[in-house]
Chains A and B, each alone.
Chain A
Amino acid sequence: AQTVTQSQPEMSVQEAETVTLSCTYDTSESDYYLFWYKQPPSRQMILVIRQEAYKQQNATENRFSVNFQKAAKSFSLKISDSQLGDAAMYFCAIYTGTASKLTFGTGTRLQVTL
């Protein structure tokens, strides 16, 4: 079975600062995909960034980047130059071919302050 753990229920960051959200996972598969999704107050889930496990290079999408440590089974999300619009719930998720489904963590609520 695959599991995803987000140990930070809530985080806070000042506008323009950088914040890192943690995510660890467990799987026996060698080939899998990792995702970060954002859920703003509107409740719609929005894909933030995606990482293939076979790629050593960390994925980057504008102000969002990941630190993928395969041996440690860690997949943290770094948000640079935080903006008020970044305030949301952030979910980490994993997909493996064996399970054939996405498994989500419990989420981290990010607050952005002035």
Chain B
Amino acid sequence: DGGITQSPKYLFRKEGQNVTLSCEQNLNHDAMYWYRQDPGQGLRLIYYSQIVNDFQKGDIAEGYSVSREKKESFPLTVTSAQKNPTAFYLCASSIGWINQPQHFGDGTRLSIL
């Protein structure tokens, strides 16, 4: 079955540590996105990528980095510069540009030790 796989489901970060969240899709979608969700808030866009080797900052990119070396993969690194990383992270993809319906993964819960 086609879909989006995020791993791990739960992740813990120590102070000063970088961690990487994985996102893989087998839907052959061109565009991929990373969102952050905090309690009582909607989703906020961190980064997005329309094509391989190209990505753009979203609303809250500070303290995060991404890469898009392969069409099916869009990993997100939460760096030590992100001072409040505890949140639920969702990866999404769409066939074309962002006005197309987005398909979401199951998310990763990141917590600070």
Contact = CB atoms under 8 A, between A and B. Distances in A.
Interface of A: 4, 33, 35, 42-47, 50, 91, 93, 95, 97, 100-107
B61 to A, nearest CB: 12
Contact of B101 (A42, A43, A47, A91): A47
Given A43-B88, A95-B99, A104 B43 contact: yes
Nearest to B9: A43
A102 B98 contact: yes
Q: Which 8 A-B pairs have the closest CB atoms?
A: A104-B42, A45-B104, A104-B43, A33-B99, A47-B101, A95-B99, A43-B107, A106-B42
Contacts, number: 48
A39 B43 CA distance: 11
29 contacts: A4-B42, A43-B90, A43-B106, A43-B107, A44-B104, A44-B106, A44-B107, A45-B43, A45-B92, A46-B104, A47-B101, A47-B103, A50-B101, A91-B42, A91-B43, A93-B42, A93-B43, A95-B99, A100-B98, A101-B48, A101-B98, A102-B98, A102-B102, A103-B42, A104-B42, A105-B42, A106-B40, A106-B41, A106-B42
Chain B interface mostly helix, strand, loop or mixed? loop
A35 B90 CA distance: 17
- Chain B interface size band reads 20 to 34
B1 interface: no
B105 interface: yes
Chain A interface mostly helix, strand, loop or mixed? strand
Residue among A43, A95, A107 with the highest chain B CB neighbour number at 10 A:
A43
Given A45-B90, A101-B48, 15 more contacts: A43-B88, A43-B106, A43-B107, A44-B106, A45-B92, A47-B101, A47-B102, A100-B98, A102-B43, A102-B45, A102-B98, A104-B42, A104-B43, A104-B44, A106-B41
